[in-house]
Amino acid sequence: MSLSKENMEKLQKIGYRFVGNHRHAAAKICHWTKKSILDEGVCYKQKFYGIESHRCLQMSPSIPFCHQKCLFCWRDVSVTDTEWKGKMDDPGEIIDGSIAAQRNLLCGFFGNDKANKKKLDESQDPKHAAISLAGEPMLYPKIDNLIEEFHRRDFTTFLVTNGMDPWKLENLKEEPTQLYVSLDAPNKKIFEKLCIPQVDDGWNKLNKSLDLLSSFKCRSVIRMTCVKGYNMQKAGEYADIIEKTNPDYVEVKAYMYVGDSRRRLKWENMPSNQEIYDFAALIAEKCDLKIKDKAYESRVVLLA
């Protein structure tokens, strides 16, 4: 599948830059990369895990492809395919193109007197890949090779998956630096209402992926996007899943009222910092975890 000209232009207007010949991969400057260059703050991933925001490359090899149509997703999910279609670019082409796009998008900061010149220079040579911009990275047929090529270039990698392809996850030869599996519901009923899986047996597939976490040598994280009025309930059921799968960390993060999600949800569905903190504390209490850190600006709490 290739995105229509109209859909590509829409994404380009909000900062996406498509790379490669087949236009299934893209990079986009993260809000926190810009903030960091201006010395106005850093991403919670820097605070929690030491990743330098100004050297982070936010990208995805599979923009049009995903197994789900989550209500809280900021993408236009109407243009999503659940299976890979069409030709694909090689990992090296995608990485070269993403770095070039990042440099091009940041060039305006060289004329900004408020920019930290050292950080700006370093930003031209990114060292961390957040493989999570949009779409489901595991649907890219060469995801193993992409991670391997990033590591060959001395990048660290954070890979985010929705867990709908446990077989491919189990057979991943090149582990990322950090593996995220999204857990956005405590049970099947809420999962199907909120995440709207486009594949059969989605809840069981997710649980199989979660069960694989302990088999990975890399750092593992369960990521929870909390939507008020939908999935901020059944803390005990979340705790049971967390205890069973035993990740290194759990991120409890607020849904943000941005992008196309505003067509599907309301402002009132975005939890406050206090609501996120209270819900995270309740989950932690039920599965014997502790609140390790929190980032007020991003409305996220880290459990460990």
Given a contact cutoff of 8 angstroms between Cβ atoms, the answer to whether 282 and 258 are in contact is no
Which alpha helices (DSSP H) does the chain contain, by range?
Answer: 5-13, 31-37, 44-49, 91-106, 117-123, 143-152, 166-170, 188-194, 202-212, 235-245, 273-286
Residue 74: what residue type?
W
| pLDDT (average), residues 62-67 | 90
| pLDDT (average), residues 80-106 | 92
CA nearest to 181, candidates 201, 166, 167: 166
CA nearest to 253, candidates 214, 224, 291, 219: 224
Q: What is the DSSP letter of 113?
A: T
Q: For the chain, give the number of residues.
A: 304
CB environment 71-95: b (16+ within 10 A), e (fewer): bbbbbebebbbbeeeeebbebebbb
3-state DSSP assignment of residue 178 = strand
Residue of higher predicted confidence among 13 and 147: 147
Question: For the whole prediction, is pTM greater than 0.85?
Answer: yes
Output Rg (C-alpha) for the chain, integer angstroms.
Answer: 18
25-27 and 17-19 strand pairing: antiparallel
**Residue 101: its pLDDT value, please?**
95
CA nearest to 224, candidates 257, 191, 193: 191
Given a contact cutoff of 8 angstroms between Cβ atoms, the answer to whether 273 and 259 are in contact is no
Band of pLDDT at residue 48, cut at 50, 70 and 90: very high
| pLDDT (average), residues 208-237 | 97
Given a contact cutoff of 8 angstroms between Cβ atoms, the answer to whether 203 and 166 are in contact is no
Q: What is the DSSP letter of 299?
A: T
User: Which listed CATH number (3.20.20.70, 3.40.309.10, 3.40.50.360, 3.30.390.50) goes with 5-303?
Assistant: 3.20.20.70
- Say how far apart CA 192 and CA 202 lie, in whole Å: 8
The pLDDT tens digits of the residues spanning 230-246 come to 999 999 999 999 999 99
Domain ranges, ordered by start, for the chain: 5-303
- Say how far apart CA 229 and CA 108 lie, in whole Å: 41
- The DSSP element (H or E) to which 56 belongs, if any, is strand 56-60
**Residue 13: its pLDDT value, please?**
83
Band of pLDDT at residue 132, cut at 50, 70 and 90: confident
**In the chain, helix, strand, coil percent, each to 5?**
45, 15, 40
Band of pLDDT at residue 5, cut at 50, 70 and 90: confident
